[in-house]
Amino acid sequence: MSDIRIGYIPVGVKFSPASDGSYPAAEEYHGVSYCDAVRQASDGAGKPLLITPGSIEVCRWSPVVLGLREPDKQFDMKIEYAAAFPTGSVLVAPINAFKSDAPPDVVLIRAERDQLKKLIVSLPPQDIAFDLAGKLDRSALEVFRSGGNPFDKMKVQTVNETLAALNQLEPWRDFTKWIFNRDWTTYLFDLLLDRFLANMSICRNSTAIPLKTGKVNVSYFCTGGIAWGMNKPNHLTCGFPYRLYEKFDLAWDS
């Protein structure tokens, strides 16, 4: 399918890439979160980044989800989908930086709901993680089903629109870093996320779930995805195993 246009260039994710020159040369990432690294990999022309165990300075979830850190906290132990530990590094790069004979493991797509729907409906149901539909913290696939709960979508979108507005303020961005750089505030916020909002949207929902299940998953953005990934609240995030992504010929705006 070549008539589908999405918002951002897709980002390929490769776990423990070989250092023999088959994968894009990348600078080591140091920053707040995985979703921030994904943003940088797709901004403008994009740039390949290598995430190592010491790369992520604030987010407490993504190093565990990506297999870069062994779970050691109460809120880490309940993460059901994660790359195998230890993962030496994770490469994120614009999809067109990868060679056809050395593809990524997972491809991340961030786009509007209707754009993603065109991709989802063209795949057989067995290639989509519909068993997660209805579990708001880890999947937004419910909105692609007839009879899906419209309240869930409205609830998450309202929160994300509010977060996107607050994100224009530097003191708010500093506050979110302060919250998630401490165990006790992260634990309390984690309880809230599990019940009412999306959680680990790009690292777990869009990367680890497709990696572990071999199926496509779609997610609302979590707090970090909006605050640090700077994603638009009317967009969703989606992860494709590469074998499914390569069926499409997509175009993108930037």
pLDDT at residue 136, rounded to an integer: 78
What average pLDDT is seen over the chain? 83
Taking residues 192-221, report their average pLDDT.
Answer: 85
Helices marked H in the chain — which ranges? 34-42, 62-65, 113-120, 150-166, 170-180, 183-196, 209-213, 223-227, 242-245
Stretch among 42-46, 53-57, 98-102, 194-198 having the lowest mean pLDDT: 194-198
Taking residues 192-197, report their average pLDDT.
Answer: 56
Taking residues 109-118, report their average pLDDT.
Answer: 89
pLDDT at residue 61, rounded to an integer: 83
CA angle 84, 33, 242 (to 5 degrees): 50
What is the residue-wise DSSP string for 153-214? HHHHHHHHHHHHHHTTSHHHHHHHHHHHTSHHHHHHHHHHHHHHS--SIIIIIIIIHHHHHS
pLDDT at residue 105, rounded to an integer: 98
φ, ψ for residue 83 (rounded to 5)?
A: -65, 155
pLDDT at residue 185, rounded to an integer: 56
pTM of the model: 0.84
H or E element, residue 111 = strand 106-112
pLDDT at residue 28, rounded to an integer: 96
